[in-house]
Chains A and B, each alone.
Chain A
Amino acid sequence: MIAARHAVQRPPGARLLVIDRHGTIAHAARSRLVDFLEPGDLVVSNDAGTLPASLHGVHLPSRAPIEVRLAGRSSFAREDLRFAAVVFGAGDWRSRTEDRPPPPPLAPGDRLAFGPLVAAVDGAQGHPRLIALKFEGPPDAVWAGIAQHGRPIQYAYLDRALALWDVWPPIAALPVAFEPPSAGFALDWRFLAALRDRGAEFATITLAAGISSTGEAALDARLPFDEPYRIPATTASAIGRTRMKNGRVVAVGTTVVRALEHSAGRGGEGVADQRVGAHTRLSIVDAILSGTHGPHESHYQLLRAFQHDDVLARAEAALEASSYLTHEFGDSVLIFCGQTRS
């Protein structure tokens, strides 16, 4: 598939490949998404907003330029200023992450400066490009620094640099995602109104989506990192209602599948640390709306929980044959689960 090069969340021509629970494939305009939902269905989206998680600065001991991409945090608390981060040497988003030079050697205690921010390396994470870092100073000042100095994580395949408004999903609330939960780009306020008119419901969870790729196979193999999430009590009761009346729970994005299956649909906070894949028996989610993903991507593994590999292979061929666009600003798939629920 070809990457969508223009940073437009909802291009008028966006397409939707639908796989029903029998594995039958259909093509539609994504603007018709609501037609594939039924009264009593529940659409659940991740309302995490996108942090400007890319920080350029210097490694103070060596004065070498570096970029860190904040990639994970163990909680949503504003006082929690310790992040997992992927580190790059000199360069910017125009070079592919695969081609970026490594950072200078980083030792625990080394201090890093990013504009108004100072952070210290707070421990190695078993890979020269992965560190824990902790920002110094009062939380409000640190968040002001991140908000003003940070930039959204960039993608080399795009035709221009991204601004925050490019990666902020319409329904985004708490800014805790390190890359945008981009499946939610498909949803706008008109869709939510149409959903209501259809007799279906909408609910949200919040999951701090980590980064989707680091440009290094050994690190990518460790993705996704553990991700904290929160499921509101109202969302948990909407899931319960939906199950009672045999409606379907439609997850918008892989992050929602991960959170709902981890919590078994219960409300509250948790840290999603599991992998969802071919051997996962889904207990809550009946369908996923997702970007298009090829077999080499970590997100593809999660789709294998929904349909057999032969169905996904046919879908992959159909996406290729019809020139669907992929990555953050690409087309979408809606996949209903082929498993029979126990």
Chain B
Amino acid sequence: MNDAAAASMNELRIVITGGTSGLGLALVREVCRRGARVAFLARTRERVERVARDHPGTHGIVGDVARKDDIYPLAIQISTALGGLEVLVNNASSLGPTPLALLGDTACEDLALALETNVLGPFRLTKALLGALTASAREGRGAVVLNVSSDAAIHAYAQWGAYGASKAALRHMSAIWGEELSAEGVRFLSLDPGDMDTPLHALAVPDADPSTLKRPETAARELADAIAAALAKERA
């Protein structure tokens, strides 16, 4: 990453869901470092307040993207805090049942939660923020939605049914959003950050050796580069 591209996040307004742990927190740190104006969401007030304190200038917002009633209050707080929006990162994810389970052993409620968090939440939040994103695109600043994906969206892994099916739906939805909104100037990215040393991975694979896993900071740098590159393309 050269300095010119890193500087290109100056004044960029970014919101990251699931921003208090794992990849989301690493992304908050990374885009702050690159000069972006940042809001992040998470469910737990104490953690939101702690991350906001640790990152002065960021806006911590409490809410659950899986809850329909939270979406517009979240969108209002995001747009007001940042005064507009160029980048939405749908990062918050639910594994479904933990420990992971075969589909035949998966409770409908666990599948529903995975779909609410990983598909409906990003859909609703994107829809509520679409006006803000297209306004940025019309004004020449570009607009990007990054939906965090997984190789479980493509490959069928036993016991990853709820997560894999929901991430596959999100991936396909990203592609359709992208088709429909390219003329409005909004780019959609669906990216797999890889297997990382994060709380979510520890929940899924408790006995994994962390030294074999990717650092979330590395994945955050790659995703930030991808966002910067997509914006540069939109602005060109």
Contact = CB atoms under 8 A, between A and B. Distances in A.
Interface of A: 47, 49, 51-52, 76, 78, 140, 143-144, 146-148, 163-165, 168-175, 189, 192-193, 196, 202-204, 232-234
Nearest to B184: A192
A193 B131 contact: no
11 contacts: A49-B75, A49-B76, A140-B81, A144-B77, A147-B80, A168-B128, A174-B79, A174-B135, A189-B130, A189-B184, A234-B139
B140 interface: yes
B131 A47 contact: yes
Contacts of A140: 59-61, 77, 81
Q: Which 5 A-B pairs have the closest CB atoms?
A: A164-B72, A147-B73, A173-B131, A173-B132, A147-B76
Nearest to A167: B72
B81 A78 contact: yes
B183 A196 contact: yes
Contacts of B77: 140, 143-144, 147
A175 B79 contact: yes
Contact of B79 (A49, A196, A234): A49
B83 A148 contact: no
A143 B81 contact: yes
A170 B76 contact: no
A181 B70 CA distance: 22
Interface of B: 59-62, 71-77, 79-81, 83-84, 128, 130-132, 134-135, 138-140, 180-181, 183-184
Nearest to B63: A148
Contacts of A52: 73, 76
Most chain B C-beta atoms within 10 Å of own C-beta, residue among A49, A51, A192, A202 = A49
Nearest to A204: B135
Nearest to B72: A164
A173 B135 CA distance: 7
A192 B135 CA distance: 13
Given A144-B61, A189-B180, A193-B183, A78 B76 contact: no
Contacts of B81: 78, 140, 143
Contact of A204 (B79, B128, B138): B138
Given A140-B77, A234-B138, 16 more contacts: A47-B135, A78-B81, A78-B83, A143-B77, A144-B61, A147-B76, A147-B80, A148-B73, A163-B72, A173-B79, A173-B84, A175-B75, A189-B181, A193-B183, A232-B135, A232-B139
Nearest to A148: B73
A137 B83 CA distance: 19
Contacts of A49: 75-76, 79, 131
B83 A76 contact: yes
A174 B130 contact: no
A204 B136 CA distance: 11
A154 B80 CA distance: 22
Nearest to A196: B183
A114 to B, nearest CB: 15
Contacts of B139: 232-234
Contacts of B83: 76, 78, 174
Given A170-B130, A173-B135, A232-B139, A51 B59 contact: no
Contacts of A165: 71-72, 128
A277 to B, nearest CB: 30
A212 B128 CA distance: 24
Contacts of B132: 173-174
Contacts of A164: 72-73, 76
- Find the residue from B76, B128, B183 having the highest chain A CB count within 10 A: B76
Contacts of B135: 47, 173-174, 204, 232
A232 B137 CA distance: 12
A163 B76 CA distance: 14
B74 to A, nearest CB: 8
A136 to B, nearest CB: 17
B13 to A, nearest CB: 12
A172 B138 CA distance: 14
A176 to B, nearest CB: 8
Nearest to A169: B131
A20 to B, nearest CB: 29
B76 A172 contact: no
Contacts of B62: 144
Contacts of A171: 130-131, 134
A175 B76 contact: yes
B138 A232 contact: yes
Contacts of A189: 130, 180-181, 184
Contacts of B131: 47, 49, 169-173
